[in-house]
Amino acid sequence: MSDSTKNRTFDAIVIGSGMSGGWAAKEFCEKGFKTLVLERGRDVKHPIDYPTTYKTPWEFEHRNQLTASLKAENPIISKCYAFREDAQHFFVKDKEHPYVQTKPFDWIRGYQVGGKSLMWARQTQRWSEYDFEGPARDGFAVDWPIRYKDIDPWYSYVEKFAGISGNKDGLAILPDGEFLPPIELNKVENHFKDFVSKNYKDRHVIYGRCAHLTEPKAIHTEQGRGQCLNRNLCQRGCPYGGYFSSNSSTLPWAAKTGNLTLRPHSVVHSVIYDDKKGKATGVKVIDTNTKEEIDYFADVIFVNAGAINTNLILLNSKSNRFENGLANENGLMGKYVAFHNYRVRISAISEDFKGFTTKGDRPNSAYIPRFRNVEKQETNFLRGYASGFYAGRSGKGAQGFGTDLKNQLFSNELGPWYVGSYMMGETIPKESNYVRLDESKKDDWGMPLLNISVDYDDNDEKMILDFVEQMTEMYTKVGFKNIQSNDSKQAPGLDIHEMGGVRMGNDPKTSLLNKWNQLHSCKNVFVTDGACMTSTSTQNPSLTYMALTARAVDFAVKEMKKGGLV
């Protein structure tokens, strides 16, 4: 082996530095493996590369709003709730990394060290047995090769390290975890919680679990992280490490072992497969700045580039044996992509509790776990939806000009309480929802553009109607007024919960990954990001990615110590 090759050889390679990639890096490095982490974007170091984190509203040129020209230049990314003046530098602009939309799809991306873990909404609900057994019970997709008991201890493992705020609610549909103290719900949220508890046996309003350090433990201070201060400016990057991100937690933890090599500005072209050895031997990288091609080598490779980019890399990883993508013998790679349906919101006002208001800010609100089709099929659609619930109170607003405007600004008079809910519906994975390599178009680095064809179906439309009906009923019964629903008709993708394409399963004929997240036909390559998901459930998926990653690394290390992953 030449010195050049030796310098490019590691024990493990991790593609991607975000939510799951950071966990893979931490686990490998902590276990003594020399690990290379490849990130296509720039480096972002905690806490020095958060340029807006301390800025006050008047320090932003446009008061944290988007200009008309910026919106016009970025019709996709400007739809994202967190793409504002304070965090726009963490998001991929529309023209920088194009893709082909066979059907409308709003692909929200963050290309930098830490990925979208810097800007995520930090909601961390466990899956339940109902979720893992869903496809087998309800007859869609393929059976998950694991059940809740397989991942339960790994949920606990990552929760303790990441720091999750929550209550022990005792719900089978939403298992309890290892929680730090919750942030309190406000007066109206608690009122709605009590009402639902008394009037619906199968419905619950709880404090939503979230990745915030409300009471840091020793493991968190050892990471160099501090308590969440409820600034609710998380998308800027938190200088205190009050919420979990790769940048503040897993990557620094990996680095301090001395086993981490982090290479930003590295577009991964493909995984290298050796036909003679019958396994993957490394990764081909294109330097973002120089366009130079470089090969890196390792015994085990984790592909954690984000669900859609992971599909892209594996589809582009072609060899004599795998002409249609690495381990894609059944032709299913890129198919059965699914997402969460966030199209509908419902709002109202409460004319009660006028003697109460809110003070300060907080990074979370209430959560309503799924209650439809849980124990049995009871509606005209499959599966169900979860929902957020929030309430607040503010001034009556400022309208007009001159003296009238000034008087309103100085007024302490408050308006009524406003309340609202959003839907997070499970979508059914379908073969017709796919991503594939475009046959002719390429990006600036010579990579094929992705062609995305993902859409809603009749099941989604029926679920939307039920959400509006059920929430309207609950809002009406509790006494809320001026109830209004709104269907944004937004394209898939804006939910930022895309999943699938490299799904797990028991049968190599109908799936691509086994129960350990290994490719069936290439045992030393693992996928533990959103691409691995067989179904979507209704819960926010990031916690499950973290748990699957820690579990898969543990398995990979044990197998390697036995003699390899072939």
CA-nearest of 41, 36, 32 to 10 is: 36
pLDDT of 504 higher than 70? yes
Q: Looking at residues 219-245, what average pLDDT do you find?
A: 98
pLDDT of 513 higher than 70? yes
pLDDT of 29 higher than 70? yes
Token duo for residue 361: 């800010």
Task: Give CA 455 to chain center in angstroms.
Answer: 19
pLDDT at 564 (0 to 100) = 77
522 confidence band (pLDDT: 50, 70, 90): very high
CA-nearest of 7, 12, 10, 88 to 300 is: 12
- pTM reported for the whole predicted model: 0.97
pLDDT at 2 (0 to 100) = 83
Bridging pattern class, strands 300-303 and 293-297: unpaired
Report the C-alpha gap between 145 and 435 in whole angstroms: 23
Q: How many helices (H) and strands (E) does the chain have?
A: 13, 23
Is 332:433 a contact under the CB 8 Å cutoff?
no
Residue ranges in 48-128 assigned as alpha helix (H): 68-73
Q: Looking at residues 184-212, what average pLDDT do you find?
A: 97
Which three-class secondary structure string do you get for 441-472?
EECCCCCEEEEEECCCCHHHHHHHHHHHHHHH
Q: Is the peptide bond before 47 cis (omega within 30 degrees of 0)?
A: yes
pLDDT at 4 (0 to 100) = 85
Exposure string over 34-61, b if 16+ CB within 10 A, otherwise e? bbbbbbbbeebebeebbebbeeeeeeee
pLDDT of 553 higher than 80? yes
pLDDT of 561 higher than 70? yes
Element containing residue 484 per DSSP (H, E): strand 481-487
Concatenating the DSSP letter of every residue in 154-220 gives HHHHHHHHH-EE-----BTTB----EEPPPPP-HHHHHHHHHHHHH-TT---EEPPBSB-SS--HHH
pLDDT at 164 (0 to 100) = 98
CA-nearest of 238, 218, 224, 228 to 160 is: 218
pLDDT of 399 higher than 80? no
CA-nearest of 339, 312, 306, 341 to 328 is: 312
Q: Looking at residues 228-241, what average pLDDT do you find?
A: 97
pLDDT at 46 (0 to 100) = 98
Stretch among 302-311, 331-340, 396-405, 475-484 having the lowest mean pLDDT: 396-405
407 confidence band (pLDDT: 50, 70, 90): confident
Is 389:371 a contact under the CB 8 Å cutoff?
no
What's the pLDDT tens digit per position in 40-79? 999 999 999 999 999 999 999 999 999 999 999 999 999 9
Hey, is 15 helix, strand or coil?
strand
Question: What residues does each domain of the chain span?
Answer: 1-58+98-166+243-338+431-453+497-566, 170-207+340-426+456-491
pLDDT of 409 higher than 80? no
Q: Looking at residues 292-302, what average pLDDT do you find?
A: 98
275 confidence band (pLDDT: 50, 70, 90): very high
Q: Which amino acid is at 105?
A: F
pLDDT at 505 (0 to 100) = 98
250 confidence band (pLDDT: 50, 70, 90): very high
Is 379:404 a contact under the CB 8 Å cutoff?
no
Report the C-alpha gap between 300 and 182 in whole angstroms: 39
Is 284:504 a contact under the CB 8 Å cutoff?
no
CATH superfamily of 1-58+98-166+243-338+431-453+497-566: FAD/NAD(P)-binding domain (3.50.50.60)
The dihedral sign for the CA sequence 41, 546, 425, 193: negative
pLDDT at 398 (0 to 100) = 66
Hey, is 100 helix, strand or coil?
strand
**DSSP bridge pairs for 350:** 417
CA-nearest of 8, 541, 549 to 282 is: 8
What's the pLDDT tens digit per position in 124-163? 999 999 999 999 999 999 999 999 999 999 999 999 999 9
Token duo for residue 277: 């050895």
pLDDT at 191 (0 to 100) = 98
Q: Looking at residues 323-340, what average pLDDT do you find?
A: 98
pLDDT of 404 higher than 90? no
Structure-derived torsion over alpha carbons of residues 364, 495, 45, 257, reported in degrees to the nearest 10: 90
